[in-house]
A and B are shown apart, each in its own frame.
Chain A
């Protein structure tokens, strides 16, 4: 049985990419691999975080001979400011995505395009926030909840209300360290203000604001994004789908959705199922309409629907290079501007839909609550009509794909845990079964694998190799973003992947009927992970920082990742990074982000660009946490 199951190797994935690059060469277009070559070596000052271009006296660069900028800013001040600006950029990005989701809920109506799908989740949140629900129309409740969420972005006083969900100890720590997040917009503005020429030069203060700004994301904007999306589009529950480039269909209309905010893709899914559209597809000779996802929009789609996932961040050009992408629709974030030029070489139609992400060579169709359905319908229709325009000579679809069992929201995880309880003794709807596995040693701990792809390391290799080593050591993995997709592509989201686990995790997977890597969603959904660790800590009766649980971003690249890393650390979870965080030029900053934050919030970064070394340190870190707990 399981002996036949094989993972797809990174070498096989690279071979697929190489074959697609032949098509790129044939049509005369560059891909990221070409551009990496052109950009290497990177600017050393930039990599070390000691190039300051905040004012026009510079740019100033720090060297042993020139240890200060013109204003006198040291390497510590410059690296610290650059670091905080990255965190602020990331927090702004996640949070603004969350705000858009809240607005969609605010606009939701029975007969509009956006609806309340998970009413029980809405009612639970309404209760949590003291919104009246009795004898009220569900949409009235939705609008009041949405308004409260939107107001969190600009509240003049007080702290993020989501933080009330954290453990008592966490809240005390945040108060004591004065990093309890205020209004989301304010934390970003404060960060920009602090880093303006002539303001904060104290690295520790910059790191503290990074934590606070991060918290306004993880325990603010991102959580808003996740919760609002679940209410509108449904809370993900475990189900099977598929992942990797092999999901592109030769005989169907392929529409690729890329980006992060599911507001567009949800509409595309709806209209791709419209009988009239299916009829039209058949008319042009297609057997059906295959909507697939890329990047975090792909994650959002696959978590809630049976929509397949075509690839992660670095496959966005590849998906067009298959020659069968009839339309690519993007919303926001992580979209290569090169999508335009690549699409130009093929029949592929390229649509941008958000004023946040305006990209040349695309057709811009801004989507709003009022026109979403119409725009989606137009896109689906044009994609279908574009099906006959494919050029046979440019077509190659790699065969690799795997079954992926996904949908592990906190609710989804608990639903599986409930199945291993014993009704004679146990409660349901808790994390206790998981805690028992960890306490007894059956599972050693858990790792949250998150983050992007980054060609500074061998893409996907770090994700997959680290995961395999962790699984063999009975460490269960929760994953989001491009990390989850790397697992999907390799086959680690297939339940049969339990054969690569140690016997403890293997047995847990069998009994709970889960894959060893649990896909929790998009990068915004790292807020789910915060609720997961908080829920576990509460059910256990300890603080999050004591748990044998760590975060790992082996291939991170975006500013969002910096923001995430900050809130994960602030939540008490050690974070293992496989890419230098661009502050190497400042010994003080390096000390602050690895050791300094430990004193403030009980956690910090562990950095190692060698994946083998990184995974060893993760296992050591988890065993050290166990030892401290006496388990």
Chain B
């Protein structure tokens, strides 16, 4: 077995000998004062300039570098320090060899190879590096096992925007396969021999000096800059000789991992020297090794994707199909998996595609879906990443709403299993199909959450049986688990609250204060969501609100809550309380799940949810009630809120709590029953409290007020034991 360090030390000796020989011959021929300059650069011999601090002008300067830093750095103690210095000294020696070539002939490669790169070329890289249009650089040292493989790999890197440098036999392979090369097309045929790699290292040095203002002799500054900012890596095909290993030592010193198929077990170094026998897998292996995540610039979809379409409304007459979670089993879900369980960018459609929905038959042979009608639809995005936390799942999931809406001809409302999606005839005719939902979700998750997601796959279900089955077996347990986790958190136990200003794009003065017992009124942002959003993006919509110096715990008054709403509403609001319907109630953006309104006859409140279309004992439907508030207005007596807030012990606690609830649609009662009963039992010792609440079956409109009062009286509703509202 060859020890890695021995190979580096041996290789650096070989490079030194070759450089010494070539330089001696040149000095003998031209004398030490002869000019030794690469063309079109203000940073001549940048590797030597950086590490030896010598501004090379002549062969004599090269000789000084050889006798000085280059020799001094080729130490052989068994430490990485020596390996790195030897590796960088090898690169300097390689630069001496190349510099001598340019002394003999200003165009030593005669157009056959690119060789030295000009400052203009280096500067061309600036913008695409910042925008990550060039996400990285690969130095391929070949030949590859076959011409075809060489082509596939080079093209594979090119397709991903990776800038390719070729050295050695792989250049001939690329030529034989007819690949067009040059700096402009970002495939550079550097040179035939390993020492030509110094041109690439030289480019890296100049990039750091030009873009990073790294100064000569700043060893740590340079090596930290290259490690942190220059996303380069090396692919070295077996057999790898000691000269190449020595250069690899230099590459690793700069933070550039080397991927090889050389079978030396003793060489493996995590994230630095990676042995991958399957050379066809080098692209993925390399990108992971260098932590390069590709920016997904284009989505493979037939319709436009733009925030301009977010507010687009699709009317029934324009609709090709609709999926409506309130009526049938539909859902959307983001869930995390182990890295190994996910095939990145896999999009699967289970069930008939949109153009085949008419073929779906029920058990008795009837058509399940009608054209222009409702289908069942579900989609599940599975994500994985080394920094992924389950707490982030709902955060990504809430974003689906906005992403789906950005599609031209697609409308999305609601969340979880209450989604409503409409796809326009136009979008369908342009070719929009089920898998495109997956493409959009994939592309957006990978671009917006690349700090935590490394892999993502999406499955879209149109098969009604699968939708129903998975809604109950997959989605609901996950939703419930998330809710249960939240149920254990109380406002008192929380270390802080959060703001949520996610919807300020259309409700600029609204601020939600999200607490464990009071989720955002849209129902979509729980305290955990807000916390995760804050972690993912500390400057984002969810900011920490401290709980210090509570003024009134019953009404829910905190100085920092007031400060926060004032700041984030840009002065529109002075104060909000967290637990009162009358004193500075929390504002609404307009996308609340439910609205509650004071009912003067009983001194109770009526709650109406968005899905309920009928009227209420207040004589108003959801839509009419909703118009009473919203848009960031404070309307005492009316307040938008999330469904989960109904069972909260903090629900209008200042006015006596949930005992005030006198009316809810029967559907909503069923939804909140278990939790509401539990809270009432714990708060007042009342059993089956939900049964005491009136619904549309007893009182469907303002005309039925007497029926409601009679019902409440008969049930012994606790609202009658409470004092009148104090306006």
Q: Give A contacts to B, CB under 8 Å.
A: 275, 417-426, 428, 433, 436-437, 439-442, 444, 473-474, 502-505, 507, 510-511, 623, 630-631
On whether the beta carbons of A425 and B273 are closer than 8 Å, the reply is no
Provide the B478-520 mask, 1 if CB < 8 A to any CB of A, else 0.
0000000000000011000000000000000000000000000
B667 to chain A, nearest CB (A): 35
On whether the beta carbons of A422 and B80 are closer than 8 Å, the reply is no
Enumerate chain B residues within 8 angstroms of A631, measured Cβ to Cβ: 3, 266
- In the bound assembly, the distance between CA atoms of A423 and B386 in angstroms comes to 10
Enumerate chain A residues within 8 angstroms of B78, measured Cβ to Cβ: 441, 444, 623
* B80: nearest chain-A partner, CB-CB: A504
Given contacts A275-B492, A419-B386, contact A425 B274 (CB under 8 A): yes
Provide the B73-116 mask, 1 if CB < 8 A to any CB of A, else 0.
00000111101100000000000000000000000000000000
On whether the beta carbons of B269 and A424 are closer than 8 Å, the reply is no
On whether the beta carbons of A630 and B80 are closer than 8 Å, the reply is no
Provide the B513-557 mask, 1 if CB < 8 A to any CB of A, else 0.
000000000000000000000000000000000000000000000
On whether the beta carbons of A424 and B284 are closer than 8 Å, the reply is yes
Which 10 pairs across A and B sit closest by C-beta, in order of nearness?
A504-B80, A420-B270, A433-B270, A424-B285, A436-B268, A503-B81, A503-B80, A420-B271, A511-B271, A440-B269
Given contacts A275-B492, A439-B268, A502-B79, contact A424 B386 (CB under 8 A): no
On whether the beta carbons of B266 and A511 are closer than 8 Å, the reply is no
Say whether B227 faces chain A, with CB atoms less than 8 Å apart.
yes
On whether the beta carbons of B386 and A422 are closer than 8 Å, the reply is no
Enumerate chain A residues within 8 angstroms of B1, measured Cβ to Cβ: 630
Provide the B250-292 mask, 1 if CB < 8 A to any CB of A, else 0.
0001000000000001111111111110100100110011000
On whether the beta carbons of B80 and A442 are closer than 8 Å, the reply is yes
A110 to chain B, nearest CB (A): 14
- In the bound assembly, the distance between CA atoms of A436 and B278 in angstroms comes to 20
Partner of B80, one of A417, A436, A507: A507
Enumerate chain B residues within 8 angstroms of A421, measured Cβ to Cβ: 270
- In the bound assembly, the distance between CA atoms of A602 and B562 in angstroms comes to 69
On whether the beta carbons of A441 and B5 are closer than 8 Å, the reply is yes
A51 to chain B, nearest CB (A): 47
Enumerate chain B residues within 8 angstroms of A436, measured Cβ to Cβ: 268-270
Enumerate chain B residues within 8 angstroms of A505, measured Cβ to Cβ: 80
On whether the beta carbons of B274 and A422 are closer than 8 Å, the reply is yes
Enumerate chain B residues within 8 angstroms of A444, measured Cβ to Cβ: 78-79
Partner of A502, one of B81, B253, B270, B493: B81
With A442-B269, A444-B78 given, can you name 8 additional A-B contacts, CB distance below 8 Å? A419-B386, A423-B339, A425-B275, A425-B285, A437-B270, A440-B267, A504-B81, A510-B227
Enumerate chain A residues within 8 angstroms of B339, measured Cβ to Cβ: 423, 428
B557 to chain A, nearest CB (A): 16
On whether the beta carbons of A473 and B273 are closer than 8 Å, the reply is no
Enumerate chain A residues within 8 angstroms of B81, measured Cβ to Cβ: 474, 502-504
B387 to chain A, nearest CB (A): 8
Enumerate chain A residues within 8 angstroms of B5, measured Cβ to Cβ: 441
Enumerate chain B residues within 8 angstroms of A442, measured Cβ to Cβ: 80, 269, 272
- In the bound assembly, the distance between CA atoms of A423 and B339 in angstroms comes to 7
* A433: nearest chain-B partner, CB-CB: B270
* A417: nearest chain-B partner, CB-CB: B270
Say whether B4 faces chain A, with CB atoms less than 8 Å apart.
yes
* B223: nearest chain-A partner, CB-CB: A503
Enumerate chain A residues within 8 angstroms of B4, measured Cβ to Cβ: 440-441
Given contacts A425-B276, A425-B285, contact A440 B268 (CB under 8 A): yes
On whether the beta carbons of A504 and B386 are closer than 8 Å, the reply is no
Enumerate chain A residues within 8 angstroms of B288, measured Cβ to Cβ: 422-424
Given contacts A441-B80, A502-B79, A507-B80, contact A423 B340 (CB under 8 A): yes
* A425: nearest chain-B partner, CB-CB: B276
Interface members, chain B 339-362 (any A CB < 8 Å): 339-340
- In the bound assembly, the distance between CA atoms of A419 and B5 in angstroms comes to 25
Enumerate chain B residues within 8 angstroms of A418, measured Cβ to Cβ: 386
Interface members, chain B 1-60 (any A CB < 8 Å): 1, 3-5
B642 to chain A, nearest CB (A): 25
B714 to chain A, nearest CB (A): 39
A427 to chain B, nearest CB (A): 10
Enumerate chain B residues within 8 angstroms of A441, measured Cβ to Cβ: 3-5, 78, 80, 83
Partner of B271, one of A422, A503, A623: A422
Enumerate chain A residues within 8 angstroms of B275, measured Cβ to Cβ: 425
Q: Give B contacts to A, CB under 8 Å.
A: 1, 3-5, 78-81, 83-84, 227, 253, 265-276, 278, 281, 284-285, 288-289, 339-340, 386, 492-493
- In the bound assembly, the distance between CA atoms of A419 and B492 in angstroms comes to 36
On whether the beta carbons of B270 and A439 are closer than 8 Å, the reply is no
- In the bound assembly, the distance between CA atoms of A503 and B285 in angstroms comes to 25
Enumerate chain A residues within 8 angstroms of B274, measured Cβ to Cβ: 422, 425
Enumerate chain A residues within 8 angstroms of B278, measured Cβ to Cβ: 424
On whether the beta carbons of B266 and A440 are closer than 8 Å, the reply is yes
- In the bound assembly, the distance between CA atoms of A473 and B281 in angstroms comes to 36
* A435: nearest chain-B partner, CB-CB: B268
- In the bound assembly, the distance between CA atoms of A439 and B1 in angstroms comes to 12
A189 to chain B, nearest CB (A): 47
- In the bound assembly, the distance between CA atoms of A424 and B340 in angstroms comes to 9
A624 to chain B, nearest CB (A): 13
Enumerate chain B residues within 8 angstroms of A440, measured Cβ to Cβ: 4, 266-269, 273
- In the bound assembly, the distance between CA atoms of A419 and B83 in angstroms comes to 24
- In the bound assembly, the distance between CA atoms of A398 and B660 in angstroms comes to 57
- In the bound assembly, the distance between CA atoms of A511 and B81 in angstroms comes to 16
8 A–B contact pairs at CB < 8 A? Answer: A420-B271, A423-B288, A441-B3, A442-B80, A474-B81, A502-B80, A503-B83, A503-B253
* B386: nearest chain-A partner, CB-CB: A419
- In the bound assembly, the distance between CA atoms of A428 and B340 in angstroms comes to 10
Enumerate chain A residues within 8 angstroms of B266, measured Cβ to Cβ: 439-440, 631
- In the bound assembly, the distance between CA atoms of A275 and B278 in angstroms comes to 58
Enumerate chain B residues within 8 angstroms of A510, measured Cβ to Cβ: 227
- In the bound assembly, the distance between CA atoms of A630 and B339 in angstroms comes to 35
- In the bound assembly, the distance between CA atoms of A503 and B8 in angstroms comes to 16
* B267: nearest chain-A partner, CB-CB: A440
- In the bound assembly, the distance between CA atoms of A258 and B386 in angstroms comes to 37
On whether the beta carbons of A503 and B84 are closer than 8 Å, the reply is yes
- In the bound assembly, the distance between CA atoms of A451 and B3 in angstroms comes to 36
Looking at A440, A504, A510, which has the most chain B CB atoms within 10 Å of its CB?
A440
B136 to chain A, nearest CB (A): 16
B238 to chain A, nearest CB (A): 15
- In the bound assembly, the distance between CA atoms of A507 and B271 in angstroms comes to 10
- In the bound assembly, the distance between CA atoms of A507 and B284 in angstroms comes to 23
* B289: nearest chain-A partner, CB-CB: A422
- In the bound assembly, the distance between CA atoms of A441 and B284 in angstroms comes to 27
- In the bound assembly, the distance between CA atoms of A190 and B623 in angstroms comes to 84
* A506: nearest chain-B partner, CB-CB: B80
- In the bound assembly, the distance between CA atoms of A426 and B340 in angstroms comes to 11
Enumerate chain B residues within 8 angstroms of A433, measured Cβ to Cβ: 270
- In the bound assembly, the distance between CA atoms of A623 and B3 in angstroms comes to 14
Enumerate chain B residues within 8 angstroms of A502, measured Cβ to Cβ: 79-81
On whether the beta carbons of A504 and B79 are closer than 8 Å, the reply is yes
B527 to chain A, nearest CB (A): 17
Given contacts A424-B288, A441-B5, contact A511 B270 (CB under 8 A): yes
Enumerate chain A residues within 8 angstroms of B272, measured Cβ to Cβ: 442, 507, 511
A569 to chain B, nearest CB (A): 27
A623 to chain B, nearest CB (A): 8
- In the bound assembly, the distance between CA atoms of A418 and B384 in angstroms comes to 14
Enumerate chain A residues within 8 angstroms of B273, measured Cβ to Cβ: 440
A287 to chain B, nearest CB (A): 9
B4 to chain A, nearest CB (A): 5
Enumerate chain A residues within 8 angstroms of B80, measured Cβ to Cβ: 441-442, 474, 502-505, 507
Partner of A422, one of B83, B227, B285, B340: B285
- In the bound assembly, the distance between CA atoms of A503 and B86 in angstroms comes to 13
- In the bound assembly, the distance between CA atoms of A420 and B340 in angstroms comes to 15
B276 to chain A, nearest CB (A): 6
Looking at A433, A504, A507, which has the most chain B CB atoms within 10 Å of its CB?
A507
Enumerate chain A residues within 8 angstroms of B285, measured Cβ to Cβ: 422, 424-425
